[in-house]
Homo-oligomer: A and B are copies of this chain.
Amino acid sequence: MTGEPQACSIARSLEIIGDRWTILILRDAFRGIRRFDELRRDLDIARPVLADRLRRLVDHGVLQKVQYQQHPPRSEYRLTPMGVELSPALVALMRWGDKYLSDGAPPTVLVHETCGNALEQGFWCPHCRQTFSPAEIASRPGPGAAVLTDELPTRGPRAHIH
């Protein structure tokens, strides 16, 4: 990883969404706030900044600009399938804020739509067929791993998240 921050999927993701405004725009898109002026109002964000972030998200394939009305022309920004798959990251951020930054009173509860019960988010091993805690996560080099060098750290009982 040393000197090659791009050889890490977290770093690569942050190059696209590692910006506070960008994540709040995506949160709003999940909430159904998808038009330029609505986003501007909800986020109290400067027009050029919002335009820049939306353009980047469209360029990267996370949002799609869709014309929903022809006369006069009006567009909105919808999550692509790639964008929808950011939901686990947003849900995780929300649950962490719920637990540690909300004084025990979360502003919003995410539920399973079918039954209305609060959802859980977890890690699952399809081999052992069981859920498990973060402490049981380990890692190994994947097919896109950089060549190992002596610079790579090996301290600690195990490496967790690369």
Contact = CB atoms under 8 A, between A and B. Distances in A.
Interface of A: 1-3, 5, 7-14, 16-20, 23-24, 27, 30-34, 38, 41-44, 61, 82, 84-117, 119-128, 131-132, 134-146, 153-156, 158-162
Given A111-B137, A112-B137, 20 more contacts: A3-B44, A5-B24, A8-B27, A9-B107, A14-B23, A31-B156, A32-B153, A34-B156, A87-B134, A89-B89, A110-B137, A110-B138, A110-B161, A111-B140, A112-B136, A113-B136, A114-B132, A114-B136, A115-B125, A121-B123
A143 B87 contact: no
- The quantity of this chain's copies bound in the complex is 2
Given A102-B9, A153-B31, A161-B27, A128 B140 contact: no
A24 B4 CA distance: 13
A10 B24 contact: yes
Given A23-B10, A117-B128, A119-B124, A144 B16 contact: no
